[in-house]
Structure 1
Amino acid sequence: MSTVSRRIETALPDTGTREWWLLYLFAPIVLVGLAILAFPTLVYDQFIWQYLWGPVVADAAGQPATHEGIQAVRGYNAVNTVTYLAAVVYGLPGLRAYLDSLDVSFDARLAYGFAPIIVAGGAMRALEDVGLLGDYAVWFITPSIYFVVTAVTVLALGIGALARDRNIGSIPSTVGVVGGVWAIGAVGWAFWHGLSTSAPLRLWVPVATAGIALSVTAFYYWGTGFVDVAHLRHPLFLLAVFGQLWDATQNIIGVTFLGYSPKLVVTNLVYQATGFSGSTFVLKLFVTGGIVWYLADAKAEMNHTWWWLMTFFIGAIGLPMGVRGSLRMMLGV
Structure 2
Amino acid sequence: MSSYLSKQTVEALPETGSKEWWLLYLLAPIVLGAISMLVFPALVYDRFIWQYLWGPVVADAAGRPVVHDGVRAVTGYNVVNTATYLAAVGYSFPGLRAYLRYLNVTFDARLAYGFAPIIIAGGAMRALEDIGLLGDYAVLFITPTIYLVVTAITILALGVGALARNRGFLSIPGTVGVVGAIWAVGAVGWAFLYGATTAAPLRLWVPVATTGIALGVTALYYWGVRFVDVAHLRHPMLLLAVFGQLWDAAQNLIGVTFLGYSPKMFLTNLIYQATGFPGSTFVLKFLVTGGIVWYLADAKPEMNRTWWWLMTFFIGAIGLPMGVRGSLRMMLGV
What is residue 145 of structure 2 aligned with on the other side?
144
- 2:240 alignment partner in structure 1: 239
Which deviations, in whole Å up to 9, do the C-alpha atoms of 1:109-145 show, x marking residues without a partner? 1111111111111111111111111111111111111
Shift of 1:174: 0.9
Question: Hey, what's the Cα distance between the residues in 2 that align with 1:311 and 1:188?
Answer: 29
**Distance in 1, Cα, partners of 2:46 & 2:136:** 24
| Corresponding residue for residue 171 of structure 1 | 172
Q: Distance in 2 between matches of 1:129 and 1:269?
A: 23
Question: Which runs of no fewer than 5 residues in structure 1 stay unpaired?
Answer: none
The one-letter amino acid of 1:205's match is: V
**CA-CA distance at 1:171 after TM superposition:** 0.9
Query: Mapping of 1:200-239 within 5 angstroms?
Result: 200-239=201-240
Deviates more, 1:185-194 or 1:258-267: 258-267
Q: Match of 2:200, SS?
A: coil
- CA distance in structure 2 between the partners assigned to 1:90 and 1:278 by the alignment: 39
Please say if 1:97 is aligned against 2:98. yes
State the shift of 1:95 in Å: 2.3
> TM (normalized to structure 2)?
0.87
**How far apart are 1:62 and its partner, in Å?**
2.3
**1:226 deviation in Å?**
2.3
Q: Is the 8 A contact 1:96 1:305 kept in 2?
A: no
Deviation at 1:20? 4.2
Q: After the TM superposition, which of the residue ranges 37-46 and 319-328 deviates more from structure 2? A: 37-46
In structure 1, the partner of 2:75 is 74
Give 1:311's aligned amino acid. Answer: T
Q: CA deviation at 1:250?
A: 1.3
My pick for the range that moved more, 223-232 or 31-40, is 31-40
Matched, 1:257 2:258: yes
Q: Distance in 1 between matches of 2:297 and 2:91?
A: 24
Instruction: List per-residue Cα deviations over 1:184-232 (Å, max 9, x = no partner).
Output: 1110110000011123211111111111111221222222212222222
Match of 1:180 in 2: 181
Cα shift readout 1:139-195 (whole Å, capped 9, x = no counterpart): 111111111111111111111111111112211111111111111111011000001
Shift of residue 35 of structure 1? Answer: 5.6
In the other structure, the counterpart of 2:298 is 297
Alpha-carbon distance in 2 for matches of 1:145, 1:292: 27
Name the residue aligned to 1:63. Answer: 64
Q: What's the RMSD between the two structures over aligned residues?
A: 2.8
1-structure distance, mates of 2:37, 2:270: 32
Number of residue pairs aligned between Structure 1 and Structure 2:
333
- 2:279 is aligned to 278
Contact 1:119 1:183 in 2 (8 A): yes
Q: Given the two structures, how large is their TM-score scaled by the length of structure 1?
A: 0.87
SS of 1:318's equivalent in the other structure is helix
